[in-house]
């Protein structure tokens, strides 16, 4: 199964919904009416700012650069640090503020919970280790550091793969840190 390579150098910087920051979308899926079904991307965290509201959506926020780490406050509660490479899940309609002690970046996965779920895992691989994609219709593998050999190409930091799982889309050419996102449709429980 061939996977699609998405080069980090091709990603376009766009403003957040609320205009308080910028991000680069890796993959965006829209409904026929133009509403967001799911998206994964990289947000630039350059200054303190409120996050955009995403009613009916779940977010998984994973800081990937910046020390000391950013801090989040929910519903005007206390700010708490978000350690690097630790995914943080929260609801998109909750008022969320971000305090940025030092400029950084975060990997975001946003899904319309009425239709999709997102599972986000950070992997650390040694040279030669295989990249195992989970069983999901759509999987994004994002290379944070190191090099991945996949689909006959070499991916470096900032590049991503998009494809279906389960699969082994490639192997680490060097020590690698990667984020793997599994997007699955919500299945209705059987009647009765």
Q: Confirm whether 11-112 and 116-185 share one CATH topology.
A: yes
Helices (H), 63-142: none
Q: If you count DSSP H runs as helices and E runs as strands, how many of each does the chain have, helices first?
A: 0, 19
Backbone φ and ψ for 51, nearest 5 degrees, come out as -85, 155
Spell out the domain ranges in the chain: 11-112, 116-185
- DSSP alpha helix (H) spans, 1-149: none
CATH number of this structure's domain 116-185, picked from the four choices 3.10.400.10, 2.60.120.10, 3.40.50.300, 1.20.120.430: 2.60.120.10
Which CATH number describes the domain made up of 11-112? 2.60.120.10
Mean pLDDT of the chain: 95
How buried is 192 (Cβ within 10 angstroms: 0-12 exposed, 13-18 middle, 19+ buried)? exposed
C-alpha to C-alpha distance for 111 and 93, rounded to whole angstroms = 12
The structure's pTM equals 0.94
Q: For 6-47, write each residue's pLDDT tens digit.
A: 999 999 999 999 999 999 999 999 999 999 999 999 999 999
Determine the pLDDT at residue 2: 80
- Span 161-177, average pLDDT: 94
Per-residue pLDDT, averaged over 44-57, amounts to 96
């Amino acid at each position: 199964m061939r996977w699609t390579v998405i080069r980090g150098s091709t990603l376009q910087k766009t403003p957040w919904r609320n205009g308080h920051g910028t991000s680069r979308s890796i993959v965006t899926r829209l409904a026929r009416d133009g509403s967001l079904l799911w998206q994964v991307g990289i947000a630039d965290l350059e200054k303190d700012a409120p996050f955009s509201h995403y009613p009916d959506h779940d977010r998984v926020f994973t800081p990937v650069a910046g020390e000391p780490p950013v801090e989040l406050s929910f519903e005007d509660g206390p700010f708490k640090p978000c350690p690097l490479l630790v995914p943080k899940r929260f609801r998109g309609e909750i008022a969320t503020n971000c305090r940025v002690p030092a400029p950084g970046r975060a990997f975001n996965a946003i899904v319309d919970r009425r239709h999709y779920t997102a599972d986000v895992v950070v992997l650390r691989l040694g040279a030669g280790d295989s990249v195992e994609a989970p069983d999901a219709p759509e999987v994004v593998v994002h290379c944070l550091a190191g090099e991945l050999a996949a689909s006959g190409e070499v991916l470096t930091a900032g590049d991503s793969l998009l494809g279906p799982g389960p699969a082994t889309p490639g192997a680490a050419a060097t020590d690698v840190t990667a984020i793997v996102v599994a997007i699955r449709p919500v299945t209705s429980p059987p009647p009765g």
